[in-house]
Amino acid sequence: MGVPDVHWTDRMRNVLVTLCAVAMLADLVARHAFPAISAGAAMAFLPCSLLLVASAAFRFGVAGGIAGAAAVAALLAGFSEPLDFSIIGMEVVVGMAIGHVRTTEVMRERHFSALTHNASDLIMVVDRRGAARYASPSFETLLGHDPSTLLGSGYHRVIDGRGTMLLAAALDRASAAGTAVQRFELDADHADGTSHVLDVTATNALGDPAVRGLVLNARDISERRWAEAQLANQASHDSLTGLPNRSLLGARLDEALTRATRETMRVALLVIDLDRFKDVNDALGHHCGDELLCDVANRLRHQVRDSDFAARLGGDEFAVVLSGGDVDDATIVAERLVAALGRPYQVRGQAIAIAASVGIALAERESTAAALLRQADVAMCSAKRRRSGIAIFTRNDDDRALDRLTMASALPAAIENDELVLHFQPQINVATGAVNGVEALVRWQHPERGLLYPDLFLPIAEEIGMMDRLTDWVLRMAIRQLKRWNRNGTPLRMAVNLSAQDLRDGRLSESISRLLALYGIDPRQLCLELTETTVTTEAERSAESLRELSRLGIRISIDDFGTGYSSLSHLKQFPVDELKIDKQFVIGMATDPDDAAIVSSTIELAHRLGVDVVVEGVEDNIAYAAITRLGAEFAQGFGISHPLTAKAFELWLKEYGLPESDAATA
């Protein structure tokens, strides 16, 4: 916007005042120079006098007109001292002009006061010495402070030391270089104790005689800064747990690696994955899973040092950056984390037991954040496969990771191309020594790598969501083999393993029933094995699924018993027909009294509940004699036979002896 034009009346007033002053000056000079001039001659100056009256009236209203007329009347009356009246008239005009200026200043001050009083910004004027000479009324509205208390150095109690330094620096720059406008931010305290962020514009008016100071205009931007901080926090932190996210972890890891190179210290990265977390989500719902993740995050916070950095990578994966220390220090921290995260959780009245697998990767001089994260993840997967809890990355792990990727790509084709085969391990009746049944164990006859055991590819099948296809294939082949043996006069009971993913399949009972009907197999010939961990983690879902299967006449067996958190009394809610004691206890019975006590007490309590016991890991006559003495019903292990192909098992069976006639349905 341009400056508006001056009104024509103002221009006319200025012209008349100027002419009046010139006429009076001329009159004064003439009278002084020519004292003999008569009053008649003085009439020559009458136009100027009339001009005085008109000008005074036009400029200053009625009062001006009267004063001008008085001066003219004096001239016409022929006073002997016209000079005095001329002077008086001039003084009147000048006095009225000064009054007008003062009136204008008052009006301007009132206008300025009205603007500042209603302004939303804070306005302050600071002189060269740093003393506040003016503070706008908006200080009370926006910050709760009486402006009069801020004058002088009173404003120092509103801004902190940093703000005082910024103001001093602004004054120095303005004084030294004449900087017109400067901008900065500072924190100011509200009277209620809250802190506000001000965006300050400092205008240099030190050279303006009417101001002679630094004019500060400040706007409260606290809400904007809070919103920006929230957005920044959301971009760098996990919204559920509040932990830093993968993005911030990468940045901090880069910083740690740079500092480690400079200070010649080691950096370790721990990647943590929760075992069976998906089972918790499926069994109890995602809301319970989220609460569990928050509990895990809190435990992590309490376990890491101030110098360490914990983050959530996503899902049920977390990470911890350790600065300083070696592999032993990293292992100690990992063991502490495994113990802390492995303690039972209480979520909405439900006790939940999970475990954690930790992968450790140690940075080398050439390590990058991305490479270290990949290595720690590979180590974590290794710990999960081995169920060791902790694994440390080695160069060989890269080769194994590539192998897993290759197998994951080849597994779907292996099922389609019949590369999978079943091996059968016999189970015998301890009391009679007769063959009671077999356990079907899947193998992969890889075209390039030979025979692969399930611990190499079953975890991969679970990860890529192929367990349902794999289980369907195993059930179909096992039930078809039962039909062949039945037709050949060798009725046996067949045990098949199920996974947690299988229990979540709502069509499981229907699918098995259809297969049994298709091949004409008595349901009592089929025994389904589930690990203790699977059953207890999927408690509610497991109970319903197992009851459906049990109603069909299928036997239910709990595998690897003794390795989880369940108890025999807890298993009463499931329709369990037998327990399989884990081989780690059986193998150690001869040398470890604790293992022997576990096996003995499990068999005794199982019998009280009316549940049969299958003892795995029977590898010699000593173990066989021990479980016979303890009263176990069935035995299985290398001491009896290794898993065999169908043809090899049939040859072994001919040498060992045919099963009892009712063994299949006993």
Tokens of 463: 């990860």
Comparison of pLDDT for 592 and 67, the residue scoring more:
592
What integer pLDDT is reported at residue 664 of this predicted model?
Answer: 58
Distance CA 57, CA 71 (A): 13
φ/ψ of 313, rounded to 5, equals: -80, -25
Per-residue model confidence (pLDDT) at position 221: 87
Give the integer Cα–Cα distance in Å for 443 and 303: 42
Which SS3 state, helix, strand or coil, does residue 282 take?
helix
- Residue 234 makes CB contacts below 8 A (sequence gap 6+) with none
Q: What is the pLDDT of residue 398?
A: 67
The predicted pLDDT at position 212 comes to 81
Tell me the CA distances in angstroms from 230 to 197, 227, 237, 248, 630, one per residue in order: 15, 5, 10, 15, 66
Cα–Cα distance, 509 to 645 (Å, whole number): 27
Task: Read off the tokens for 565.
Answer: 């958190």
pLDDT at residue 4 in the model: 37
Query: Coil, strand, or helix at residue 508?
Result: helix
Longest distance between any two alpha carbons in the chain, whole Å:
168
- What sections of 149-285 are H helices per DSSP? 161-177, 222-236, 246-263, 277-284
Q: Report pLDDT for 585.
A: 84
Residue 441 has pLDDT above 80, yes or no: yes
Of the two residues 533 and 342, the one the predictor is more confident about is 342
For residue range 100-155, what is the model confidence (pLDDT) as tens digits? 555 555 555 555 555 555 566 888 888 888 788 888 888 888 888 888 888 887 77
Burial 608-635 (b: 16+ CB within 10 A, else e): eeebbbbbbbbeeeebbebbeebebbbb
pLDDT of residue 565: 46
Higher pLDDT, 303 or 532: 303
Distance CA 616, CA 187 (A): 72
Pick 348 or 633 by higher pLDDT.
633
Q: Residue 488 phi/psi, 5° resolution?
A: -90, 5
In which band, very low, low, confident or very high, does the pLDDT at 1 lie, cut at 50, 70 and 90?
A: very low
What's the Cα-to-Cα distance from 556 to each of 131, 279, 464, 521, 658, rounded to whole Å?
A: 88, 20, 27, 17, 24
Q: How many residues are present in the chain?
A: 666
Half-sphere exposure of 602 (CA within 13 A, CB side): 28
- Summarised one tens digit per residue, pLDDT across range 216-235 is 888 888 888 888 877 877 77
Q: At what angle do helices 593-608 and 621-630 cross, to 10 degrees?
A: 40
Contact criterion met (CB below 8 Å) for 436 and 634: yes
Q: How far apart are the first and last CA of the chain?
A: 103
pLDDT at 554: 95
Determine the average pLDDT of the residues in 521-545: 80
Q: Residues 556, 561, 564, 569: is their CA dihedral positive or negative?
A: positive
What is the tens place of the pLDDT at every residue in 510-526? 999 999 999 999 999 99
Neighbouring C-beta atoms of residue 11, cutoff 10 Å: 11
pLDDT for 258 equals: 87
Of 610, 580, 626, which Cα lies nearest the Cα of 439?
Answer: 580
Mean pLDDT computed over 359-368: 87
pLDDT at 481: 96
Beta bridge partners of 134: 125
Tokens describing residue 395: 């160069």
Q: How confident is the model at residue 167 (pLDDT cuts 50, 70, 90)?
A: confident
Residue 443 CB: number of other CB atoms within 10 A? 18
CA distance 267 to 568: 46
454-493 confidence digits (pLDDT tens): 988 888 888 788 888 999 999 999 999 999 999 998 889 9
- Hey, is 191 helix, strand or coil? coil
Residue 157: predicted pLDDT: 74
Section 542-556 average pLDDT: 87
pLDDT tens digit sequence for 366-416? 888 898 999 999 899 888 877 889 999 987 776 677 777 788 888 889 988
pLDDT at 83: 44
pTM above 0.85, yes or no: no
Q: What is the pLDDT of residues 557-584, one digit of tens each?
A: 988 776 554 555 556 778 889 989 888 8
